[in-house]
Amino acid sequence: MTLKPAPSSTAIADPALLDLSFTGFRLPPRAGARRERAPVYMSLRHWFEAEKFRSCEPDLSSAMLMQPTQREAVKLAKRNQTRWRMDWAKVRCRALACGMVYASLSEPNAPRWATDAKELAAMLTPLGLPEKFQQEAAAEYVRLRDGPKVAFLGAATAPHDAVGKRVNAVHRKTGGAWTLLHWCGRGVSWPVHDWAVAQFVPIIYLGDDRDRMSEAHLVDLARRADTVVVFEERGGKTMDRTLRTLRAQRRCSVELDLFDPPNGNQLVVAT
Protein backbone atom coordinates (compact mmCIF):
# COMPACT_ATOMS: atom_id res chain seq x y z
CA MET A 1 0.00 0.00 0.00
CA THR A 2 1.36 3.42 -0.93
CA LEU A 3 1.03 6.17 1.62
CA LYS A 4 -0.55 9.33 0.23
CA PRO A 5 -0.74 12.86 1.59
CA ALA A 6 -3.80 13.66 3.64
CA PRO A 7 -6.31 16.02 2.01
CA SER A 8 -5.67 19.66 2.85
CA SER A 9 -7.53 22.89 2.37
CA THR A 10 -4.28 24.57 1.36
CA ALA A 11 -1.47 23.80 -1.04
CA ILE A 12 0.93 23.19 1.82
CA ALA A 13 1.27 19.43 1.21
CA ASP A 14 2.09 19.76 -2.49
CA PRO A 15 4.46 18.31 -3.64
CA ALA A 16 4.28 15.42 -1.19
CA LEU A 17 7.11 14.94 1.27
CA LEU A 18 7.21 11.32 0.14
CA ASP A 19 8.65 12.54 -3.15
CA LEU A 20 10.87 15.33 -1.85
CA SER A 21 14.58 14.52 -2.14
CA PHE A 22 17.20 16.75 -0.55
CA THR A 23 20.80 16.81 0.61
CA GLY A 24 21.81 16.88 4.26
CA PHE A 25 25.15 17.61 5.89
CA ARG A 26 28.58 16.40 4.84
CA LEU A 27 29.32 13.34 6.95
CA PRO A 28 32.27 13.31 9.35
CA PRO A 29 35.22 11.26 8.04
CA ARG A 30 35.43 7.49 8.07
CA ALA A 31 38.91 5.95 7.91
CA GLY A 32 40.35 9.43 7.50
CA ALA A 33 38.41 10.31 4.34
CA ARG A 34 35.69 12.96 4.35
CA ARG A 35 32.76 12.54 2.01
CA GLU A 36 33.08 15.06 -0.84
CA ARG A 37 29.42 16.00 -0.89
CA ALA A 38 26.43 15.59 1.39
CA PRO A 39 24.33 12.44 0.80
CA VAL A 40 20.95 12.71 -0.90
CA TYR A 41 17.83 11.51 0.94
CA MET A 42 14.84 10.38 -1.12
CA SER A 43 12.36 11.75 1.40
CA LEU A 44 12.09 13.16 4.89
CA ARG A 45 11.19 9.70 6.17
CA HIS A 46 14.40 8.31 4.66
CA TRP A 47 16.29 10.98 6.61
CA PHE A 48 14.46 10.12 9.81
CA GLU A 49 15.17 6.39 9.52
CA ALA A 50 18.82 6.93 8.52
CA GLU A 51 19.43 9.11 11.58
CA LYS A 52 18.62 6.15 13.82
CA PHE A 53 21.92 4.63 12.68
CA ARG A 54 24.22 7.41 11.44
CA SER A 55 26.28 7.88 14.60
CA CYS A 56 26.53 4.21 15.54
CA GLU A 57 25.93 2.04 12.43
CA PRO A 58 27.09 4.07 9.42
CA ASP A 59 26.71 1.15 7.02
CA LEU A 60 23.03 0.81 7.87
CA SER A 61 22.59 4.55 7.58
CA SER A 62 24.08 4.41 4.08
CA ALA A 63 21.88 1.43 3.19
CA MET A 64 18.84 3.51 4.12
CA LEU A 65 19.67 5.92 1.31
CA MET A 66 19.26 3.10 -1.20
CA GLN A 67 15.75 2.06 -0.15
CA PRO A 68 13.38 2.75 -3.09
CA THR A 69 10.37 3.80 -1.00
CA GLN A 70 9.49 5.15 2.42
CA ARG A 71 7.88 1.82 3.25
CA GLU A 72 11.10 -0.08 2.54
CA ALA A 73 13.09 2.39 4.64
CA VAL A 74 10.75 1.85 7.60
CA LYS A 75 10.95 -1.94 7.21
CA LEU A 76 14.76 -1.88 7.16
CA ALA A 77 14.84 0.22 10.33
CA LYS A 78 12.40 -2.08 12.14
CA ARG A 79 14.42 -5.18 11.22
CA ASN A 80 17.44 -3.58 12.86
CA GLN A 81 15.81 -1.93 15.85
CA THR A 82 18.38 -3.38 18.27
CA ARG A 83 21.05 -1.37 16.43
CA TRP A 84 19.39 2.06 16.77
CA ARG A 85 21.44 4.69 18.60
CA MET A 86 20.96 4.26 22.32
CA ASP A 87 19.57 7.76 22.87
CA TRP A 88 17.14 7.74 19.95
CA ALA A 89 14.07 8.43 22.10
CA LYS A 90 15.81 11.54 23.44
CA VAL A 91 17.05 12.97 20.12
CA ARG A 92 14.43 11.84 17.59
CA CYS A 93 12.39 15.06 17.73
CA ARG A 94 15.47 17.18 17.11
CA ALA A 95 16.59 14.80 14.35
CA LEU A 96 13.34 15.16 12.41
CA ALA A 97 13.31 18.94 12.92
CA CYS A 98 16.86 19.16 11.59
CA GLY A 99 15.84 17.09 8.55
CA MET A 100 12.98 19.51 7.97
CA VAL A 101 15.49 22.35 7.84
CA TYR A 102 17.49 20.58 5.13
CA ALA A 103 14.31 19.76 3.23
CA SER A 104 13.27 23.42 3.40
CA LEU A 105 16.67 24.51 2.07
CA SER A 106 16.01 22.39 -1.02
CA GLU A 107 12.84 24.45 -1.65
CA PRO A 108 13.95 28.01 -0.82
CA ASN A 109 10.87 29.60 -2.40
CA ALA A 110 8.25 27.13 -1.16
CA PRO A 111 5.82 28.96 1.18
CA ARG A 112 4.89 25.82 3.08
CA TRP A 113 8.11 25.93 5.11
CA ALA A 114 7.30 29.45 6.36
CA THR A 115 3.97 28.52 7.94
CA ASP A 116 3.26 28.00 11.64
CA ALA A 117 3.86 24.84 13.63
CA LYS A 118 0.24 23.66 13.42
CA GLU A 119 0.18 23.63 9.62
CA LEU A 120 3.65 22.14 9.46
CA ALA A 121 2.56 19.31 11.75
CA ALA A 122 -0.34 18.57 9.41
CA MET A 123 2.08 18.56 6.48
CA LEU A 124 4.02 15.75 8.19
CA THR A 125 1.00 13.40 8.19
CA PRO A 126 2.18 11.43 5.10
CA LEU A 127 5.24 10.32 7.05
CA GLY A 128 3.03 8.04 9.15
CA LEU A 129 4.37 9.20 12.51
CA PRO A 130 2.36 9.73 15.72
CA GLU A 131 0.40 12.99 15.67
CA LYS A 132 1.81 14.27 18.98
CA PHE A 133 5.35 13.61 17.79
CA GLN A 134 4.67 15.45 14.53
CA GLN A 135 3.50 18.47 16.54
CA GLU A 136 6.64 18.41 18.69
CA ALA A 137 8.93 18.10 15.68
CA ALA A 138 7.14 20.91 13.84
CA ALA A 139 7.51 23.20 16.87
CA GLU A 140 11.21 22.38 17.10
CA TYR A 141 11.64 23.06 13.38
CA VAL A 142 10.09 26.51 13.84
CA ARG A 143 12.59 27.20 16.63
CA LEU A 144 15.47 26.22 14.36
CA ARG A 145 14.06 28.09 11.36
CA ASP A 146 13.58 31.30 13.32
CA GLY A 147 16.88 31.07 15.19
CA PRO A 148 19.98 33.06 14.19
CA LYS A 149 22.47 32.03 11.51
CA VAL A 150 26.00 32.16 12.88
CA ALA A 151 29.40 31.85 11.15
CA PHE A 152 32.83 31.34 12.70
CA LEU A 153 35.88 32.60 10.78
CA GLY A 154 39.47 31.97 11.79
CA ALA A 155 38.49 29.01 13.96
CA ALA A 156 40.97 26.71 12.19
CA THR A 157 43.95 28.61 13.63
CA ALA A 158 42.50 29.52 17.02
CA PRO A 159 43.05 27.36 20.13
CA HIS A 160 40.48 24.60 20.29
CA ASP A 161 39.42 25.49 23.81
CA ALA A 162 38.76 29.11 22.80
CA VAL A 163 36.66 28.00 19.82
CA GLY A 164 34.79 25.47 21.92
CA LYS A 165 34.01 28.06 24.57
CA ARG A 166 32.57 30.46 21.99
CA VAL A 167 30.53 27.84 20.16
CA ASN A 168 29.16 26.63 23.47
CA ALA A 169 28.21 30.21 24.39
CA VAL A 170 26.20 30.56 21.16
CA HIS A 171 24.53 27.20 21.71
CA ARG A 172 23.60 28.08 25.27
CA LYS A 173 22.38 31.60 24.47
CA THR A 174 20.08 30.39 21.69
CA GLY A 175 18.78 27.38 23.56
CA GLY A 176 20.26 25.24 20.79
CA ALA A 177 18.10 26.91 18.14
CA TRP A 178 20.54 28.25 15.55
CA THR A 179 22.07 27.40 12.18
CA LEU A 180 25.78 27.16 11.40
CA LEU A 181 26.97 28.97 8.27
CA HIS A 182 29.96 26.82 7.39
CA TRP A 183 32.76 28.05 5.14
CA CYS A 184 34.08 25.06 3.14
CA GLY A 185 37.05 26.74 1.43
CA ARG A 186 40.59 27.34 2.59
CA GLY A 187 40.83 27.88 6.32
CA VAL A 188 37.85 25.60 6.97
CA SER A 189 37.25 24.44 10.55
CA TRP A 190 35.88 20.92 10.34
CA PRO A 191 35.80 20.31 14.13
CA VAL A 192 33.09 22.98 14.51
CA HIS A 193 31.18 21.43 11.60
CA ASP A 194 31.39 17.90 13.01
CA TRP A 195 30.25 19.07 16.44
CA ALA A 196 27.24 20.74 14.79
CA VAL A 197 26.40 17.48 13.00
CA ALA A 198 26.51 15.58 16.29
CA GLN A 199 24.28 18.13 18.03
CA PHE A 200 21.69 18.41 15.21
CA VAL A 201 22.59 22.01 14.54
CA PRO A 202 21.61 22.59 10.88
CA ILE A 203 24.39 23.64 8.52
CA ILE A 204 24.36 25.88 5.45
CA TYR A 205 27.45 25.44 3.29
CA LEU A 206 29.31 28.37 1.73
CA GLY A 207 32.09 28.17 -0.83
CA ASP A 208 33.83 25.16 -2.38
CA ASP A 209 36.75 23.18 -1.00
CA ARG A 210 39.44 25.06 -2.94
CA ASP A 211 38.00 28.57 -2.63
CA ARG A 212 39.84 31.41 -0.99
CA MET A 213 37.74 33.79 1.09
CA SER A 214 37.30 36.66 -1.37
CA GLU A 215 35.53 39.96 -0.86
CA ALA A 216 32.54 38.57 -2.77
CA HIS A 217 32.40 35.59 -0.41
CA LEU A 218 32.50 37.91 2.60
CA VAL A 219 29.72 40.08 1.20
CA ASP A 220 27.60 36.97 0.62
CA LEU A 221 28.35 35.77 4.15
CA ALA A 222 27.34 39.12 5.63
CA ARG A 223 24.07 38.96 3.67
CA ARG A 224 23.19 35.53 5.02
CA ALA A 225 24.43 35.73 8.61
CA ASP A 226 22.92 37.24 11.71
CA THR A 227 26.25 36.99 13.54
CA VAL A 228 29.82 36.40 12.39
CA VAL A 229 32.39 35.53 15.04
CA VAL A 230 35.94 36.28 13.92
CA PHE A 231 38.85 34.69 15.79
CA GLU A 232 42.13 36.63 15.83
CA GLU A 233 45.34 36.21 17.77
CA ARG A 234 45.79 38.98 20.31
CA GLY A 235 47.82 41.75 18.65
CA GLY A 236 47.50 40.11 15.22
CA LYS A 237 46.41 41.69 11.95
CA THR A 238 45.51 38.59 9.91
CA MET A 239 41.75 39.19 10.01
CA ASP A 240 41.79 42.98 9.51
CA ARG A 241 40.57 42.84 5.89
CA THR A 242 37.88 40.35 6.84
CA LEU A 243 36.64 42.56 9.67
CA ARG A 244 36.60 45.70 7.54
CA THR A 245 34.68 44.03 4.73
CA LEU A 246 32.10 42.46 7.02
CA ARG A 247 31.50 45.61 9.04
CA ALA A 248 31.17 47.72 5.90
CA GLN A 249 28.11 45.69 4.87
CA ARG A 250 26.17 46.71 8.01
CA ARG A 251 23.97 43.65 7.64
CA CYS A 252 25.06 41.44 10.50
CA SER A 253 26.65 41.57 13.93
CA VAL A 254 30.43 41.11 13.75
CA GLU A 255 32.10 39.93 16.94
CA LEU A 256 35.87 39.75 17.43
CA ASP A 257 37.17 36.97 19.68
CA LEU A 258 40.82 37.52 20.63
CA PHE A 259 42.97 34.59 21.72
CA ASP A 260 46.47 33.94 22.96
CA PRO A 261 48.77 31.77 20.80
CA PRO A 262 47.39 28.22 20.29
CA ASN A 263 48.45 25.63 22.85
CA GLY A 264 47.30 22.45 21.15
CA ASN A 265 44.22 21.80 23.27
CA GLN A 266 41.44 19.69 21.85
CA LEU A 267 38.09 21.16 20.88
CA VAL A 268 35.62 20.50 23.68
CA VAL A 269 32.12 21.90 23.49
CA ALA A 270 29.87 21.30 26.48
CA THR A 271 26.24 20.43 25.84
- pTM reported for the whole predicted model: 0.88
Domains identified in the chain and CATH numbers: 17-145 (no CATH), 147-259 (3.40.50.10470)
Among the residue ranges 141-150, 225-234, 241-250, 258-267, the one predicted with the least confidence is: 258-267
> pLDDT (tens digit, 9 = 90+) per residue, 217-232?
999 999 999 999 999 9
Judge contact between 210 and 237, C-beta under 8 A.
Answer: no
Element (H, E) at 170: helix 160-173
Q: What pLDDT, on the 0 to 100 scale, is given for residue 65?
A: 93
Judge contact between 48 and 74, C-beta under 8 A.
Answer: no
Pairwise CA distance, residues 85 & 66, whole Å: 20
